[in-house]
Amino acid sequence: ASGAAAAAAAAECGSPVRASQAAAAVAELEALRPLLEQQRAELERQACELRLRRDRERELRAECRQGLEHRRALQAHIEVLGSRLATREAELARLGARKAELREALARREVRADAVAACATEGEVRAWEREVREAARRALERLADRRAELRVAALAGARDGAPCRMCCERPASCALLPCGHRALCKPCARRVEGGEGSSCPICRRRVTGRLEAYAS
C-alpha cells in the first residue's frame, strides 16, 4: 500500500521515469520481504537455541559442583576408614606381640616350676615364693594399667561413634553393666545379656545387664 502510494505520488509529480523507478523499488522491496522474514525467524531460532545452551551449561556446572562435593566427601570418608584400619592393625600387632610375650613367660614359668620342685632347702623355697609374689604384683599392675587404657579407649570410641565390638556393623549404642563400657549395639548386647557366662569384650568382666545410650 505504501509502495502504491509512493508510485501514485510520483505519477502526480508528472515524471513517468520516476514513477517507473519508484514502482521498481517497491517491487524489489516486496520481493525482499519474505527473505527478511525468513532471516528474522532464523535469528529468533538461533537466539532460542543459545538460551537453551546457556541453561544446559548452568545445569552441567551445578552437577559438576555436586559431583566434586560428593567426591571430597568420599575421600574424607576413605581417610577416616583408613585411619581406623591402621589403628585396628596396630592394635592387632600389639596384641600379637603380647601373646608372644605371654607364651614365652608361660614357658619360663614351666621351667621355673621344675626348678622349684628341685629346691632342697626351705630358704630356696622362700626365695622362689618372694620372686613369684613380686612377678604377680608386677603382672597385676600391668593389668590395671591395661584396664585403664581400655576404659579410656572405650570412652573415646563412644564419643566418636565407634562400631560394635562384636558385629562391627552397627554403632555401639549400649553400655554394659556393671563395667559401663559402651561397646556393643542393641542386638549384640541383647544376645550377650541373655547368655550365660557372657563378658564385656573390653574388660572381660561378667555382664549383668545393659543400658541403652542415646546421643544428646
- Per-residue pLDDT of 98-123, as tens digits, reads 888 888 877 766 655 566 666 667 77
pLDDT of residue 1: 47
Burial class (CB in 10 A: 0-12, 13-18, 19+), 171: middle
pLDDT at 154 over 80: no
Helices (H), the chain: 2-12, 16-117, 122-159, 186-194
pLDDT cut 70: percent of the chain above it: 76
Contacts of 115 (CB under 8 A, 6+ apart): 128
pLDDT at residue number 52: 92
Which cell numbers in the block locate residue 134? 613380686
User: pLDDT at residue 159 above 80?
Assistant: no
Name the one residue in this structure whose C-alpha cell is 559402651: 182
Structure-model confidence comparison of residues 142 and 9, the more confident one:
142
Write the pLDDT tens digit of every residue in 38-67: 888 999 999 999 999 999 999 999 888 888
Q: Do the beta carbons of residue 172 and residue 134 sit within 8 Å?
A: no
Going by pLDDT thresholds of 50, 70 and 90, the confidence category of residue 152 is low
Confidence of residue 3 (pLDDT cuts 50, 70, 90): very low
